[in-house]
Amino acid sequence: MKTPAARRRHGSRRGLAAASAALLLASGTVALTQASASAAAGCRVDYTTNDWGGGFTANVAVTNLGDPITGGWTLEWDFPGNQRVTSGWNGTFAQSGAHVTVTNPSWSSTLGTGASVTPGFQATYSGTNAAPARFTLNGTVCDGSTGPTDPPTDPPTDPPGDRVDNPYAGADVYVNPEWSANAASEPGGSAVADEPTGVWMDRIAAIGGANGRMGLRDHLDEALDQGADTIQVVVYNLPGRDCAALASNGELGPDEIDRYKAEFIDPIAEILGDDAYADLRIVTVVEIDSLPNLITNVGTGDVATENCNEMLENGNYQNGIAYALQKLGAIPNVYNYIDIGHHGWLGWDDNFSSSADLLTEVAQQSGSLGNVAGFITNTANYGALEEPYFSIGDSVNGTSVRQSSWVDWNRYVDELSYAQAYRQELIGNGFGQDIGMLIDTSRNGWGGPDRPAGPGPTTDVDAYVDGSRTDRRLHLGNWCNQAGAGLGERPTASPEPGIDAYVWIKPPGESDGASQEIPNDEGKGFDEMCDPAYGGNPRNGGNPSGALPDAPISGHWFSAQFRELLANANPPVQ
């Protein structure tokens, strides 16, 4: 890969929920993922907070892992929000915007190898209080190691079976030849046909290959032939799959957990565990959309809610995912990533922490949090990576953007800030500092003629947000074949602190669902949210679906969508 709890709404599959209570982040240790350029330097930072909502104290324990430091030290970081230091101790604090600098007190200018200092401070904030993602000590990034760890220019040479911190770092990632051929067949598509995309195991027959398609072993063999270091496999066939939507229902009934284990997970694990593939880093994206549905789409409501209630009660989502994590996590070169929906689904206070708690419980049920390498957001969705022209801290005439119709009291307006904050929440739940996040950027570029060139008008908060936002969907809850979307950032390793990679897990040009009912043998139904004539429901605020017409069933090639994604790409396709 190129490395360059106030209220809840039941969301759709790519749904929404909302709340207005303040989010209190638990104290935790910050994970740091960058590298030092100096072989003789290294440091570790443990950042812990005591938060009471609107204010907090923090201790920043710094340990020097490299050569002794004499003549003074300087610690620096950037706050991800609007935190402001009001007082400090064990160091001299200065802040400019989000950037904080702490210099040593006069009595502590030397820091020997293995020695620690603990500056502390008191601060205020509004909105969220996510921890800083990166600290530097005298210019060296504190990632807990010594010596340079920048991704190598040559292919990785880690011994077979040894897990690395980031399976994408320095890696050539497998290009699916079936998707590549479809992309290259479209006008201009050859420009992106060499990008790596996910291989979807979405039914039992897909393991061996169905309807002339490559099976799992075929893809792994092809990855070896390509000289790839990393391959991405989506494991997606839970009993009662995708309970809140019909377009991607699966073949297994709600109670068929034994079939899921014996006929789906076990054969996949057997193939992935073959010694022939021991040199590959195998990234598995485990069961997208499932656990978030148990947070937002249960209770009283329509048929979809009843379906999700059944899955919550029988426990087969939790049982199935825990089994998959355990079986796949036992393979030394497999890296499991679990789905966390997206910011327009779980970004509200009522859903953020409760979903993280559920993910933690399921990982513990698998036998070890270590069975999880990381988490993925925005899989097969359209949430903007970043919103350049407005932020969650903005206000218009004294009204916060959180009160706008689009944001609707969410804490996040983009996937990057959501992913980084969610990562800190999970670390606070006990996951290790080495967990990383993936963001699916395959369809969140939102280029084209409707992309704004600057902030919207400040006449009122809705006009400001609607004029500023690059995500041009009619509603955050719209998820099926969205008109006007574009390719997002190309797949890239280590693009931001805490982010293992931007990935194209959903292959661009593969449909989300059919525009009308199409009989098929894949267990996939018809969802009105894929019908461009559908007028909406309470989940999406009564807005039209925003879906493209004439779409095939989910997973099938949709030429018109691919062409639009290519034309609207942001960054543009060269």
Active site members: 289, 512
Contact partners, residue 536, CB within 8 Å, separation at least 6? 475, 542, 543, 544, 545
DSSP 297: S
Rounded CA-CA distance 493/264 in Å is 30
Specify the length of the chain in residues: 574
Q: Angle at CA 122, nearest 5°, toward 117 and 128?
A: 110
Neighbours of 204 (CB within 10 A): 18
For the chain, the first-to-last Cα distance in angstroms comes to 18
Q: Which helix (H) or strand (E) holds 438?
A: strand 436-440
Describe the crossing of helices 316-329 and 303-314 by its angle, rounded to 10 degrees: 60
Is the dihedral angle over the CA atoms 571, 176, 151, 167 positive or is it negative? positive
10 Å CB burial of residue 151 (0-12, 13-18, 19+) is middle
For 314, phi and psi rounded to 5 degrees? -85, -15
Cβ-based neighbours of 172, under 8 Å, separated by 6 or more: 1, 155, 226, 227, 228, 229, 230
**Which among 115, 110, 102, 93 is positioned nearest to 74, based on CA atoms?**
102
Rounded to whole angstroms, the Cα distance separating 73 from 283 reads 40
Q: d(Cα 91, Cα 75) in Å, to the nearest integer? A: 9
Rounded to whole angstroms, how far apart are CA atoms 373 and 368? Answer: 11
Residue 95, H or E segment: strand 92-96
Compute the distance between CA of residue 30 and CA of residue 125 in angstroms, rounded to an integer: 18
Instruction: Extract the tokens encoding 328.
Output: 């796949």
Burial class of 71 by CB neighbour count within 10 A (0 to 12, 13 to 18, 19+): exposed
